Structures are given as C-alpha cells and as structure tokens.
Copies of this chain bind each other. A is one copy, B any other.
Amino acid sequence: MEAALLRELAQGVRAGDADDAGAAEVFARSAWSLVSEPGDGMAGLLVGCLGAVPALEAVIARRPADMLAREILSVAGDVALPEPADLEEQVRHALERWRPRLASAEVVTALRQARRVTARLLIPGDPEWPEGVDDLGPHAPLALWCRGEDRALAALGRSIALVGARAASGYGEHLAMEASAGLVDRGFAIVSGAAYGIDGMAHRAALASRGSTVAFLAGGVDRFYPAAHDALLTRIVESGAVLSELPCGAAPTKWRFLQRNRLIAAASQATVVLEAGWRSGSLNTAGHAAALGRPLGAVPGPVTSPTSAGCHRLIREYQAECVTNAAEMAELVGPVMDAGAGQPTLFDASGPTSDQVRVLDALSTRSSRSIKDIAARSGMSPFAVRGALGALELEGTVAERATGWVRASRTSR
C-alpha cells in the first residue's frame, strides 16, 4: 500500500504527525483487530514476537506455518510455549482462521469511519494506553479504539469496575448509584460495560458526581450498543472515555461480550459485582478479575432475591470479598490508612468490663445496696465490687447514697 495513503489514514486516528514506520504500525494493528477475534492468543504471540507489521506481512505473504513456528521459537525467550509440533499445528489453524478475513479495503473503511467519529487508535506503549490490560499477556488487546478524554484514561490508574445484572432490581440500582458516587468521592474512576441495569446506573451516577467513567464496548465505538444508551454513551464521551478493541463497524457478538469483560477486569484495579443472577454474565467478568489476581468484591442482598444469588455464589465459592458500601469497596484496592485503631473485636472494648456488667446487674435504681449485698448478688468478691463501682461512679452510671449504692436512672443523668 502507498506510504501516502498509510500516512493519511494514520493521521486521521492519531494525535500529531506519524512517520512512515508509525503509519505502517497503525495500519497493521488496525488490520490485526479485523483479522483476529478479541483475545486470540496466537495473534498476540505472533505480534509480540515479530512485531505487528512483520507479522501481518508474513500472513499476507502466506509464509508457511512451520517457518512461522520456528521464527516464534527463535525469539520467544522465556515465554511459555507448547511443544514445537503443537505450536506449528496451532499456527496452521490460526493462519486458516485469519486468511479468510484478510481484506485491506476493510481496514481502510474502518480507519476512515474512526476518523469520522473522531475515534483515536491507542497502541501499546502510548502514554494513554491502559497499563492494566497488559497483564492479559498474549490475550492483551493489540490496539484500542477510543472516543473521549485523555484524562479519563489516565484516571484508570485508580479505578474500580462496577458490574452486574442487566435485569437489575430497584435494590441493585440503588446499590450501583451509592457505590459509584461513593467511589467517585474517594477519587476512583468507574469502569463498566454500558449495559442496561447496573452498568448504566454506575456510569450515570459517576457522571452525576462529576467523576471519571470509562465504558468498554463489545463492538465498534462508532455504533453505540445498546442503542437506547446512545445519549448516555455520548455523555461519557464528553467527559470520560468509551473504548473497544474492535474496529469501527464491528458488531457486538456474544463472544465479543465475553472478551470485552476481560478488558473491564484488567483495566481496573478491582472488580465489584453489585447484583447478579446465578448465571449472570457479570460472573464472567468476576472470573477474569480473579484469574488476573485482581481484588474481587460482591455485594450481598436478600437470599430471597434471585438477582443476588450470583453475588452470594461469588462470596461462597470464589472467595469474593463481601462488601457492603463504597468505603469497603475502596479498601479492596488497599488498606485505608487513617483507621489507626487495631483489629476490631466482637467483644467491644469500649463497653463496660465483665465486672462492671455484673455489678450493674446486681444494682437497683430504687433501693440502695451495700458492698456485701452487691458481692453476694453478683458472685464477686467485695474487693472486685469496689473496683467496678469506682469506675462506674466516674462514668456517672452508679451513685453512692448514705445507705449504699444505686444505679443511676437514665433520666437522672
């Protein structure tokens, strides 16, 4: 392809000028996002080993699978790889699935459509690139299409994903609103998937709180899905960011929703499931977070509510942390430093001591009692009774009369 066309296409989707090598890289990564489906580990491996441009050229030139496998083996270094024969077989299958999609006209169309909607192409190494997704290894996205603000991308460094059921209950929507607003107040960006229910409410509350919010889509960023969230996504573009690894024109499919979930989990520091049925798709996002070693939280709800069953399942079976408010969600990312106090205890240390409880049990608000009487009633020694009474007198809980001790009535304090 002509260098001039490549430069023109690159300039449409990148800030600043691109040199010829840069323009070729933009074209190649765009092409890769068209020929391989999201999460294609072999595409990630080949691009990682050879580079996006040489890898694409190898596919176009119909380089044989055995040769490509040898090239991978010679540069892969300490990357865990299958046995050479298996690798060659996998490369062969990959070439078979990529070749039917090779069509440079479609790449050009996607890049022009991106320019039309002012979508930019992010590639690994860009300052705006969300570093978290690199933890996906060979399954990391090869490029990301972005509409929105750079500062929303920078805010991903301190972000929490709020996900949950599309068919959320009123309880779930309330949770999403409280959680999103509370996390924004604590300086977090809110990551979600722009779906109906929990996702939409999480984005909306973040916008209403003037926080950063980032939506990952399962199709191209030129066509918002679901269509009814067009206005919401337009508002997210204005102050946050809408991202996708799929080129403009790509339709969302079930597979792409599942793969999109891995980006939500990887781009944020922790994932919280607010409401989810027993087989909710948000459990898939939770599974990705757990696989990445990201902290995972789930909000409990009534055990009688099917839309909380998935959350309880995550707590019971997948060691998700039980989180009940925004403060606890924030703690998933790191301990709160201002707490100061030690571990809380079931036996409240600030309340009365055992001896004091027993002395109070033995006192009356009406008739005064002697130390000896209190000792007999409480089953304590007179010495211990005197000690407890002294502390309680300081608090004003008991009082000494001429005839003995009484418990101060609440109204008299």
Interface centre among A300, A380, A382 (most CB of B within 10 A): A300
Per-residue B-contact encoding for A245-270, CB less than 8 Å = 1, 0 else = 00000000111101000000000000
A346: CB under 8 A from chain B?
yes
Per-residue B-contact encoding for A368-386, CB less than 8 Å = 1, 0 else = 0000100110111111100
CB distance from A51 to the nearest CB of B (A): 21
Binding site for B on A (CB under 8 A): 35-37, 40, 93-98, 100-101, 171, 174-175, 253-256, 258, 279, 283-284, 286-287, 290, 299-304, 308-309, 312, 315-318, 321-325, 328, 344, 346-348, 354, 357-358, 360-362, 372, 375-376, 378-384
A256–B358 CA distance with the chains assembled, in angstroms: 9
The 4 closest A-B pairs by CB, nearest first: A96-B381, A300-B300, A253-B361, A37-B379
Inter-chain contact B303/A346, CB cutoff 8 Å = no
Inter-chain contact A312/B300, CB cutoff 8 Å = yes
Inter-chain contact B361/A254, CB cutoff 8 Å = yes
Chain B residues closer than 8 Å to A284, beta-carbon distance: 346-347
Given A97-B384, A300-B322; 5 other pairs, CB 8 A cutoff = A254-B361, A279-B348, A284-B347, A300-B308, A312-B322
Inter-chain contact A372/B100, CB cutoff 8 Å = yes
CB distance from A352 to the nearest CB of B (A): 9
Inter-chain contact B303/A347, CB cutoff 8 Å = no
Inter-chain contact A358/B301, CB cutoff 8 Å = no
Inter-chain contact A93/B383, CB cutoff 8 Å = yes
Closest to A385 in B: B97
In the complex, 25 of the A-B residue pairs with CB atoms within 8 angstroms, ordered by the A residue number, are A37-B358, A37-B379, A96-B381, A96-B384, A97-B375, A97-B381, A100-B375, A100-B382, A101-B376, A171-B302, A255-B361, A279-B348, A286-B346, A287-B347, A299-B303, A300-B300, A300-B302, A300-B308, A309-B324, A312-B322, A315-B322, A316-B324, A316-B328, A317-B344, A322-B322
| SS of A interface (majority) | helix
Q: How many copies does the complex hold?
A: 2
Closest to A34 in B: B379
A400–B94 CA distance with the chains assembled, in angstroms: 25
Chain B residues closer than 8 Å to A283, beta-carbon distance: 346
Inter-chain contact A301/B299, CB cutoff 8 Å = no
A175–B346 CA distance with the chains assembled, in angstroms: 23
CB distance from A339 to the nearest CB of B (A): 13
Inter-chain contact A97/B324, CB cutoff 8 Å = no
Inter-chain contact A358/B96, CB cutoff 8 Å = no
A97–B354 CA distance with the chains assembled, in angstroms: 14
A309–B300 CA distance with the chains assembled, in angstroms: 11
Inter-chain contact B325/A303, CB cutoff 8 Å = yes
Chain B residues closer than 8 Å to A346, beta-carbon distance: 283-284, 286-287, 290, 318
A100–B380 CA distance with the chains assembled, in angstroms: 9
A323–B312 CA distance with the chains assembled, in angstroms: 8
A308–B175 CA distance with the chains assembled, in angstroms: 15
Contact of A302 among B290, B302, B318, B379 (CB under 8 A): B302
Interface centre among A36, A348, A375 (most CB of B within 10 A): A375
CB distance from A381 to the nearest CB of B (A): 3
Inter-chain contact B255/A171, CB cutoff 8 Å = no
Q: A322-B316, A325-B303 are in contact. Are A255 and B358 (CB under 8 A)?
A: yes
A377–B402 CA distance with the chains assembled, in angstroms: 95
CB distance from A312 to the nearest CB of B (A): 5
Chain B residues closer than 8 Å to A175, beta-carbon distance: 303
Inter-chain contact B360/A254, CB cutoff 8 Å = yes
Chain B residues closer than 8 Å to A312, beta-carbon distance: 300, 322, 324
Chain B residues closer than 8 Å to A380, beta-carbon distance: 37, 97
CB distance from A66 to the nearest CB of B (A): 17
CB distance from A213 to the nearest CB of B (A): 22
Chain B residues closer than 8 Å to A357, beta-carbon distance: 254-255, 258
